[in-house]
Structure 1
Amino acid sequence: SEMVVVRGVKYLKLECVGQGGTCKVYKVLCPKRKTYALKRIRLQGREKETVAGFLDEIRLLQNLRGKHNIIQLVDAEVCKNEGLIYVVLEYGEIDLARLLSKREKQRAKELKEKEKGKEGMVEAVGTIHEQKIVHSDLKPANFLFVEGALKLIDFGIAKQDTSKSDTTNIVRDHQVGTVNYMSPEAILNGQPSALGGPLKVGRASDIWSLGCILYQMVYGQTPFARITGMIPKLHAITDPKHVIPMPPVANPHLTDLISQCLVRHPHHRITIEGILRHPFLR
């Protein structure tokens, strides 16, 4: 039918804007004529952990209501007897990955208009770090433009249990990750290396990923995109001797910030607080 009722509120389906295995996303209209995204998740045949992950994510979104740089949860309902979860969220125009993949000229123009996006992105990561959440899989597809502001749309929660291949999360379906945004310590995964003994993957890992995204926004590709072949790429990311090319740009503060994010050793990397105080964002 054309109507979906979530906790007593009727939403009119306008179109299906995305679907994964057991999940459909609709653009919907609420009674007050505002457009939202409605996600319908079928629970049948899902692992207990996956369902728990969805519920965690809903709780987290509830806790982050009012944080303007995180996608806002409008409502949610778990229908146990139908085996469905409905989640109503803000509707976004385009995610950063789609914007970055547009043709160079068009992209440059749109990024110019969305220059403020960089700040929103940093603030969003700051918000989850305050909540003691390490995303650990940040990439442009995690950020959505909502009325021109860049917002974080997931928390990497579903990723915590990597043994299960089913890591759909609330806001979007999980594409198998690319290593282009992965931090050296995430790649090393506890193995000793040229960087020293085993390193934990913590908040600094998200800072590295943020540096890769900023780099891509500036140079049109990620820092290690030029290296083809998985093994050489993994070596380059973890090798402190491999120099990341950083041609000068109009604003030298920007390249300084990116290079502070892309420090191989997590303990020497800039923190989110450091980024927010950095002259580039001042």
Structure 2
Amino acid sequence: MAEDVHHLAKLACQRKPRKRPGCLPKSLSVVIGPPSVTLKDEGDSENNGDSITHDQVVSSKSVTGPLTNIANVDSPTVPSVQPFVDWDIVMKDKYGEKRFKEIATIGQGGSSRVVRVLGEDQVVYALKIVDLTHADRSTKTGFINEIKLLQQLQGSAHIITLIDYTWDKQCNKLLLLLEHGEADLANVVQQHKLTVNQIKTYWRDMLLAVKAIQDVNIVHRDLKPANFVLVRQTLKLIDFGISSSIRAEVTSVIPSDRCGTISYMAPETLQDQDNSFKVGRYSDVWSLGCILYLLVYGYTPFHHVKGTVQKMLAIVNPDHHIAFPHVPADLTRALDILRSCLKRNPKERPTISELLAHPFLHWQS
């Protein structure tokens, strides 16, 4: 535990001197209790109740509510803030202060919650607040990992921007200030029937996001619609708490825990291999195929299988047929992608570069 605390402190000291946020005021309570996170079977609505325990950090959920135009999503309406407003959150340290007005909680779970806040600069942000008081080693390692990977990926147009972060030993809280997403893909799919051009646009954005992480040898391990958020009409990838870095010369890693969301998990990540589970670049390709399946059909490939264990068995069973129902003519090219991404043998799945070059993205409907 002492090593984890030292690592967090070391991370906080690695940045260039600048204004940094500090400890939250005592009036703001963010203690949610001891870590209790689950491997969710989100199904089609991202709200299925089937679950089993694992070490995943629950990610932020984006803005909910109807969108009038998916192609032109506006930033959420925020209350006007007067010059002498009582700020809900004051992040301060020896470098200065940053003040925020809390608008709403947009996600929570385990030891963390994410709130939509309005800054003194009148900009809306997402603030991830993590209480480390009861955090175990695995949870702390997950947050350390998330910060390191986000730092590594800054500058990518399809990765969420980490604006600032801080850790304070006195209040034992970690805060990550992130750019705000107007809506996540899960909510967009629930509320709207997508056009072919919208499916293509979102698919290209997702591929470019995964290409960005693969270019620096990162496997996300939890690709799902809720982890892609719209930021100024561009899908960006979030939540790197359970991601893994792999050496350039290898193709996979074998983590000790089973992480992810069942409806989007590749077969090899569910199969026990000497008390571990193998994941690699092609595991993320399977997950992308499941998301595209959802965009095309409105449900996931194994939506009809009820129960967590039954769904896991169906995913790994090569004799369980994945259905590809008829689609309109302008989506037939997408079926070729789905069939190739959803092959149970990882080596038979396409690369991200091959998917970006596929005619589906370049054919004008």
- The gaps in structure 2 that reach 5 residues or longer are 1-86, 245-254
Residue 2 (str. 1) matches residue 88 (str. 2)? yes
Provide closer, same or farther for how the CA distance between residues 158 and 264 of structure 1 changes in structure 2, counting only shifts above 3 A.
closer
Q: Residues 61-80 of structure 1 correspond to what in structure 2 (within 5 A)? A: 61-80=150-169
1: CA distance between counterparts of 2:318 and 2:312?
Answer: 12
What is residue 118 of structure 2 aligned with on the other side? 29
TM-score (normalised: structure 2): 0.64
1:87 CA drift (Å) = 0.8
Which residue in the other structure is 2:100 paired with?
12
Q: Would you say 1:205 and 2:283 are equivalent positions? A: yes
Q: Give the conservation status (yes or no) of the 8 Å contact 1:50–1:158.
A: no
Cross-structure match for 2:306? 228
Cα distance change, pair 5–211 in 1 and its aligned pair in 2 (3 A):
same
Residues 133-167 of structure 1 show CA distances to partners (whole Å, capped at 9, x for unaligned) of 1122221111111122111102252795639xxxx
Question: TM-score of the superposition, structure 1-length normalised?
Answer: 0.82
| 8 Å contact from structure 2 (residues 142, 241) kept in 1 | no
Aligned CA distance change for structure 1 residues 114 and 214 (closer, same or farther; 3 Å): closer
Any idea what SS the aligned residue of 1:224 has? coil
- Structure 1 residue 267 displacement after superposition: 0.7
Query: What is the distance in 2 between the residues matched to 1:111 and 1:54?
Result: 37
Higher helix proportion (structure 1 or 2):
1
Cα drift, residue 41 of structure 1: 1.2
* Contact kept? 1:114, 1:148, Cα under 8 Å: no
Q: Name the structure 1 match of 2:175.
A: 86
**Aligned counterpart, 1:253:** 333
Closer, same or farther: CA 148–9 of 1 in aligned 2, 3 Å: farther
Q: Which residue of 1 aligns with 2:71?
A: none
Alpha-carbon separation, structure 2, partners of 1:76 and 1:236: 41
Alignment-mate amino acid for residue 283 of structure 2: S
More displaced 10-residue stretch of structure 1: 118-127 or 153-162: 153-162
Which amino acid letter does the alignment assign opposite residue 151 of structure 1?
A: K
Is 1:53 equivalent to 2:139 in the alignment?
no
Which structure has more RCO (C-alpha within 8 Å, separation ≥ 6)? 2
C-alpha separation in 2, matches of 1:280 and 1:156: 32
Q: CA deviation at 1:21?
A: 4.1
**8 Å CA contact retained: 1:137, 1:156:** no
Measured in 2, the distance between the counterparts of 1:184 and 1:21 equals 27
In 1, distance between residues paired with 2:202 and 2:256? Answer: 31
Give, in whole Å, the separation in 2 of the partners of 1:51 and 1:111.
42
SS of the aligned residue for 2:219 comes to: coil
User: In 2, are the aligned partners of 1:97 and 1:141 still within 8 Å (CA)?
Assistant: yes
CA contact (8 A) 1:13 1:26 kept: no
Could you list the runs of 5+ residues in structure 1 that have no partner in the other structure? Answer: 164-175, 192-197
Provide the rounded CA distance (Å) in 2 between the counterparts of 1:79 and 1:215. 43
Correspondence for 1:265 among 299, 324, 345: 345
**Which SS does the other structure have where 2:175 is aligned?**
strand
1:239 maps to 317
1:15 Cα deviation from its structure 2 partner: 1.5
Say if 2:222 and 2:242, in contact at 8 Å, map to a contact too.
Answer: no
Distance 1:45 1:234 in 2: 31
Residue 272 (structure 2) aligned to one of 182, 186, 189: 189
1:147 matched residue in structure 2: 232
After TM superposition, give the deviation of residue 181 of structure 1 in Å: 1.2
CA separation of 1:152/1:111 partners in 2, compared to 1, >3 Å: closer, same or farther? farther
Q: Cα–Cα, structure 1 residues 52 and 224, in superposed 2: closer, same or farther, change >3 Å?
A: closer
Distance (whole Å) between structure 1 residues aligned to residue 176 and residue 310 of structure 2: 41
SS at match of 1:280: helix
Which structure would you say has the larger Rg?
2
Given that 1:78 and 1:86 are in contact with CA atoms closer than 8 Å, whether structure 2 keeps it comes out as: yes
Aligned residues: 260
Pairwise CA distance, 1:114: 6.6
* Equivalent position to 1:180, from 263, 283, 294: 263
Percent identity reads 41
